Amino acid sequence: MKISLIVAMDINRGIGKDNDLMWHLPADMKFFKETTSGHIVVMGRKNFESIPEKYRPLPNRENIVLTRNTSFKAEGCKVVHSLEECLSLFPENEERTMFIIGGGEIYRQAIEQNIIKEMIITHVNKSYNADTFFVDFDLKSWSVETILTKEKDERNEASFSVVKYTKK
Ligand SMILES: NC(=O)c1ccc[n+]([C@@H]2O[C@H](COP(=O)([O-])OP(=O)(O)OC[C@H]3O[C@@H](n4cnc5c(N)ncnc54)[C@H](OP(=O)(O)O)[C@@H]3O)[C@@H](O)[C@H]2O)c1
Protein backbone atom coordinates (compact mmCIF):
# COMPACT_ATOMS: atom_id res chain seq x y z
CA MET A 1 0.00 0.00 0.00
CA LYS A 2 1.24 3.47 -0.84
CA ILE A 3 1.47 5.73 2.21
CA SER A 4 1.53 9.43 1.48
CA LEU A 5 1.38 12.54 3.64
CA ILE A 6 -0.40 15.74 2.76
CA VAL A 7 0.09 19.03 4.60
CA ALA A 8 0.00 22.78 4.13
CA MET A 9 2.56 24.92 5.93
CA ASP A 10 3.61 28.55 6.05
CA ILE A 11 7.12 29.93 5.52
CA ASN A 12 8.00 29.05 9.17
CA ARG A 13 6.68 25.46 8.87
CA GLY A 14 3.57 26.53 10.85
CA ILE A 15 0.50 24.35 10.25
CA GLY A 16 -2.08 25.43 12.84
CA LYS A 17 -3.07 27.55 15.82
CA ASP A 18 -5.65 26.94 18.58
CA ASN A 19 -6.52 23.61 16.94
CA ASP A 20 -7.51 25.29 13.70
CA LEU A 21 -6.04 26.20 10.33
CA MET A 22 -4.69 29.73 10.00
CA TRP A 23 -5.55 30.66 6.43
CA HIS A 24 -8.42 30.78 4.00
CA LEU A 25 -7.27 29.07 0.82
CA PRO A 26 -10.22 27.43 -0.96
CA ALA A 27 -7.98 26.55 -3.92
CA ASP A 28 -5.80 24.44 -1.63
CA MET A 29 -8.89 22.89 0.02
CA LYS A 30 -10.07 21.89 -3.45
CA PHE A 31 -6.67 20.38 -4.26
CA PHE A 32 -6.76 18.43 -0.95
CA LYS A 33 -10.25 17.12 -1.67
CA GLU A 34 -9.41 16.06 -5.22
CA THR A 35 -6.15 14.41 -4.19
CA THR A 36 -7.54 12.41 -1.28
CA SER A 37 -11.00 11.49 -2.65
CA GLY A 38 -11.49 7.75 -3.07
CA HIS A 39 -8.58 7.03 -0.71
CA ILE A 40 -7.93 6.49 3.00
CA VAL A 41 -7.30 9.45 5.32
CA VAL A 42 -5.61 9.04 8.71
CA MET A 43 -5.82 11.82 11.29
CA GLY A 44 -5.03 12.51 14.93
CA ARG A 45 -7.94 12.95 17.32
CA LYS A 46 -7.24 16.70 17.64
CA ASN A 47 -7.24 17.19 13.89
CA PHE A 48 -10.49 15.20 13.66
CA GLU A 49 -12.12 17.45 16.28
CA SER A 50 -10.90 20.58 14.47
CA ILE A 51 -12.98 19.66 11.42
CA PRO A 52 -16.48 21.21 11.67
CA GLU A 53 -19.01 18.46 12.49
CA LYS A 54 -20.94 19.00 9.27
CA TYR A 55 -17.80 18.18 7.22
CA ARG A 56 -16.83 14.98 9.02
CA PRO A 57 -16.26 12.22 8.29
CA LEU A 58 -14.61 13.62 5.16
CA PRO A 59 -16.88 12.40 2.35
CA ASN A 60 -15.82 9.84 -0.27
CA ARG A 61 -12.86 8.76 1.84
CA GLU A 62 -12.33 6.08 4.45
CA ASN A 63 -11.68 8.06 7.65
CA ILE A 64 -9.40 6.72 10.37
CA VAL A 65 -8.88 8.52 13.68
CA LEU A 66 -5.89 7.87 15.96
CA THR A 67 -6.39 8.20 19.72
CA ARG A 68 -5.01 6.57 22.85
CA ASN A 69 -8.48 6.76 24.38
CA THR A 70 -9.99 3.27 24.08
CA SER A 71 -13.55 4.50 24.59
CA PHE A 72 -13.41 7.18 21.88
CA LYS A 73 -16.01 6.82 19.11
CA ALA A 74 -16.48 8.84 15.92
CA GLU A 75 -19.46 8.20 13.71
CA GLY A 76 -18.52 7.03 10.23
CA CYS A 77 -14.84 6.63 11.17
CA LYS A 78 -12.64 3.74 12.17
CA VAL A 79 -10.83 4.43 15.43
CA VAL A 80 -7.34 3.01 16.02
CA HIS A 81 -4.90 3.28 18.93
CA SER A 82 -1.53 3.16 17.17
CA LEU A 83 -0.08 3.69 13.70
CA GLU A 84 0.74 -0.04 13.62
CA GLU A 85 -2.91 -0.92 14.21
CA CYS A 86 -3.86 1.50 11.45
CA LEU A 87 -1.49 -0.15 8.95
CA SER A 88 -2.70 -3.62 9.96
CA LEU A 89 -6.25 -2.77 8.81
CA PHE A 90 -5.26 -2.99 5.14
CA PRO A 91 -3.67 -5.67 2.98
CA GLU A 92 -0.26 -5.04 1.41
CA ASN A 93 -1.86 -4.94 -2.03
CA GLU A 94 -4.48 -2.34 -1.02
CA GLU A 95 -5.06 -0.25 -4.16
CA ARG A 96 -6.02 2.96 -2.42
CA THR A 97 -3.39 5.34 -1.05
CA MET A 98 -3.27 5.94 2.70
CA PHE A 99 -2.95 9.70 3.22
CA ILE A 100 -1.64 10.87 6.58
CA ILE A 101 -3.51 14.18 6.98
CA GLY A 102 -2.11 15.39 10.34
CA GLY A 103 -1.92 17.14 12.65
CA GLY A 104 1.55 17.87 13.91
CA GLU A 105 1.93 14.87 16.22
CA ILE A 106 0.76 12.37 13.63
CA TYR A 107 2.98 13.83 10.90
CA ARG A 108 6.01 13.66 13.18
CA GLN A 109 5.45 10.03 14.14
CA ALA A 110 4.77 8.94 10.54
CA ILE A 111 8.02 10.54 9.35
CA GLU A 112 10.06 9.25 12.29
CA GLN A 113 8.75 5.72 11.69
CA ASN A 114 9.92 6.00 8.09
CA ILE A 115 6.64 4.81 6.59
CA ILE A 116 6.15 7.77 4.24
CA LYS A 117 7.24 7.38 0.62
CA GLU A 118 5.69 10.59 -0.68
CA MET A 119 4.81 13.97 0.80
CA ILE A 120 2.54 16.49 -0.86
CA ILE A 121 3.30 19.83 0.75
CA THR A 122 1.48 23.08 0.09
CA HIS A 123 3.96 25.85 0.80
CA VAL A 124 1.94 28.95 1.73
CA ASN A 125 3.98 32.06 0.95
CA LYS A 126 3.08 33.97 4.10
CA SER A 127 3.97 34.05 7.80
CA TYR A 128 1.35 33.21 10.45
CA ASN A 129 1.44 33.03 14.24
CA ALA A 130 1.33 29.22 14.54
CA ASP A 131 1.45 27.04 17.66
CA THR A 132 1.84 23.75 15.75
CA PHE A 133 4.62 23.04 13.27
CA PHE A 134 5.56 20.50 10.64
CA VAL A 135 8.55 18.35 11.54
CA ASP A 136 11.88 19.54 10.05
CA PHE A 137 12.71 16.68 7.68
CA ASP A 138 16.02 16.03 5.88
CA LEU A 139 15.57 17.57 2.43
CA LYS A 140 18.51 15.55 1.01
CA SER A 141 16.48 12.32 1.24
CA TRP A 142 13.71 13.53 -1.08
CA SER A 143 13.31 14.28 -4.81
CA VAL A 144 11.31 17.44 -5.40
CA GLU A 145 8.73 18.32 -8.03
CA THR A 146 6.42 21.36 -8.05
CA ILE A 147 2.99 20.20 -9.20
CA LEU A 148 0.84 23.33 -8.76
CA THR A 149 1.31 27.05 -8.21
CA LYS A 150 -1.40 29.55 -7.36
CA GLU A 151 -1.24 33.31 -7.10
CA LYS A 152 -3.02 35.25 -4.38
CA ASP A 153 -6.48 36.44 -5.50
CA GLU A 154 -9.74 37.76 -4.06
CA ARG A 155 -10.67 34.32 -2.61
CA ASN A 156 -7.20 33.02 -1.68
CA GLU A 157 -5.37 35.23 0.80
CA ALA A 158 -1.84 34.09 -0.09
CA SER A 159 0.01 32.59 -3.01
CA PHE A 160 1.13 28.99 -2.62
CA SER A 161 2.88 26.18 -4.42
CA VAL A 162 2.26 22.47 -4.04
CA VAL A 163 5.44 20.38 -4.06
CA LYS A 164 5.63 16.60 -4.29
CA TYR A 165 8.53 15.08 -2.33
CA THR A 166 9.37 11.49 -3.26
CA LYS A 167 11.69 9.45 -1.02
CA LYS A 168 15.00 8.77 -2.83
N1 LIG B 1 -1.91 22.72 7.78
C2 LIG B 1 -2.27 21.44 7.66
O3 LIG B 1 -2.10 20.83 6.60
C4 LIG B 1 -2.89 20.76 8.84
C5 LIG B 1 -3.37 19.46 8.71
C6 LIG B 1 -3.93 18.84 9.82
C7 LIG B 1 -4.00 19.51 11.03
N8 LIG B 1 -3.50 20.77 11.12
C9 LIG B 1 -3.50 21.49 12.40
O10 LIG B 1 -2.73 20.74 13.33
C11 LIG B 1 -3.21 21.03 14.65
C12 LIG B 1 -3.47 19.71 15.37
O13 LIG B 1 -2.25 18.99 15.49
P14 LIG B 1 -1.76 18.36 16.90
O15 LIG B 1 -0.32 17.98 16.75
O16 LIG B 1 -2.11 19.30 17.98
O17 LIG B 1 -2.71 17.10 17.09
P18 LIG B 1 -3.01 15.81 16.17
O19 LIG B 1 -1.73 15.26 15.61
O20 LIG B 1 -4.09 16.13 15.20
O21 LIG B 1 -3.65 14.81 17.23
C22 LIG B 1 -2.92 14.43 18.37
C23 LIG B 1 -3.70 13.34 19.07
O24 LIG B 1 -3.63 12.14 18.31
C25 LIG B 1 -3.61 11.02 19.17
N26 LIG B 1 -2.33 10.30 18.97
C27 LIG B 1 -1.11 10.83 18.68
N28 LIG B 1 -0.21 9.84 18.54
C29 LIG B 1 -0.87 8.68 18.71
C30 LIG B 1 -0.47 7.32 18.69
N31 LIG B 1 0.78 6.96 18.42
N32 LIG B 1 -1.40 6.38 18.94
C33 LIG B 1 -2.69 6.72 19.19
N34 LIG B 1 -3.12 7.99 19.21
C35 LIG B 1 -2.22 8.97 18.99
C36 LIG B 1 -3.75 11.54 20.58
O37 LIG B 1 -5.14 11.61 20.82
P38 LIG B 1 -5.78 11.44 22.32
O39 LIG B 1 -5.35 12.66 23.05
O40 LIG B 1 -7.26 11.37 22.05
O41 LIG B 1 -5.21 10.17 22.87
C42 LIG B 1 -3.17 12.95 20.45
O43 LIG B 1 -3.63 13.84 21.44
C44 LIG B 1 -4.46 21.89 14.47
O45 LIG B 1 -4.11 23.27 14.61
C46 LIG B 1 -4.87 21.63 13.04
O47 LIG B 1 -5.60 22.69 12.46
C48 LIG B 1 -2.96 21.40 10.05
Using CB atoms within 10 Å of the CB of residue 105, give its burial: 0 to 12 exposed, 13 to 18 middle, 19+ buried.
Answer: middle
Strands 40-44 and 62-66: parallel
In this predicted structure, what is the pLDDT of residue 70?
97
| Residue 45 alpha carbon to ligand 1 centre in Å | 6
Which residue minimizes the CA distance to atom 24 of ligand 1?
44
In this predicted structure, what is the pLDDT of residue 80?
98
Ligand 1, from 7, 10, 15: best to mutate by most atoms within 8 Å of Cβ? 15
pTM as predicted = 0.98
- 3-class secondary structure, 14: strand
Which residue minimizes the CA distance to atom 10 of ligand 1?
103
Could you tell me the mean pLDDT of each successive run of 10 residues in the chain, 168 residues long?
97 98 97 98 98 96 98 98 97 97 98 96 98 95 98 98 97
Q: Is the dihedral of CA 66, 97, 23, 74 positive or negative?
A: negative
Q: How far apart are CA 102 and CA 105, in angstroms?
A: 7
What one-letter code names the amino acid at 94? E
Domain with residue 89: its CATH number is 3.40.430.10
Question: Could you give the number of structural domains in the chain?
Answer: 1
- Domain range holding 138? 3-167
Q: Are 40 and 97 in contact (CB under 8 A)?
A: yes
